[in-house]
Structure 1
């Protein structure tokens, strides 16, 4: 059979059960396991619309508790900021090495900056 109707649903944990809300139908059902959520949502949509379960598709979004989602968003933001800072630091390190290379050799630069001569060679070789 082909899909005749498509719905969006949101599932979140309430105690031991997943509560599934299909907003367009203003209907709620439950599932014990996350793996059963989509099937239960499709069964609900089919029952309310009078269609066969194979004729409906329900796209389910799983929601964590809001405090967890806020922490998750902050963690993702922190990682992105850290990556940006790391890239900026690496670019500035290369610029410093390039600048010093005009007046000093690799061994002298390494001793002044407290890194190995191998690290100086790596930084010289890397492009931004």
Structure 2
């Protein structure tokens, strides 16, 4: 038994229309519907296969799924705010390190700096030895 290789790559979009996802394949000027996101790739391949009179497994349909309603704008705004927040956290970490180094340059011990700033001596040491401001702000899992 031979397994057919992918012979054609198509692009499709899927957008929410009422309770269904509308699948459009512009290159073929055709489309269809899916009841769920999970089924969109399979249904898109079936639609294209039927239109082209080939087995769906011989096609690769790359589907872009659009966020419904205002979700795309809200999601983009959330990402922008998160990026600004991360930048602020990185700047705050730099200012903290600068403060600690300034106090140390004035002759204060790490123990005294810790007492003044209500930090543990371990945290003071950690901040004074930290050279990577991005380490204060790890990447978001949602990206």
TM-score (norm 1): 0.87
Tell whether the 8 Å contact from 1:12 to 1:18 is kept in structure 2 after alignment: yes
Q: Residue in 2 aligned with 1:125?
A: 129
Q: Name which of 12, 18, 21 aligns with 2:15.
A: 12
1:53-92 deviations in whole A, cap 9, x for unaligned? 1221111111112511111111111111111111111112
Higher fraction of helix: 1
Q: Which runs of 5+ in 1 are unaligned?
A: none
**1:10–1:62 CA contact under 8 A, matched in 2:** yes
What residue is the counterpart of 1:63 in the other structure? 66
Q: Does 1:105 align with 2:105?
A: no
TM-score (norm 2): 0.78
Structure 1 residues 35 and 116: CA distance shift in structure 2, 3 A: closer
Distance of 2:131 and 2:83 partners within structure 1: 21
CA distance in 1, matches of 2:105, 2:56: 73
Q: Deviations over 1:17-52 (max 9, x none)?
A: 111011111112011222221121111111212222
Counterpart pick for 2:81 among 73, 78, 88: 78
Equivalenced residues, count: 127
CA RMSD of aligned residues (A): 1.7
Residue of structure 2 equivalent to 1:116:
119
| Structure 2 residue runs without a partner (length 5+) | 133-143
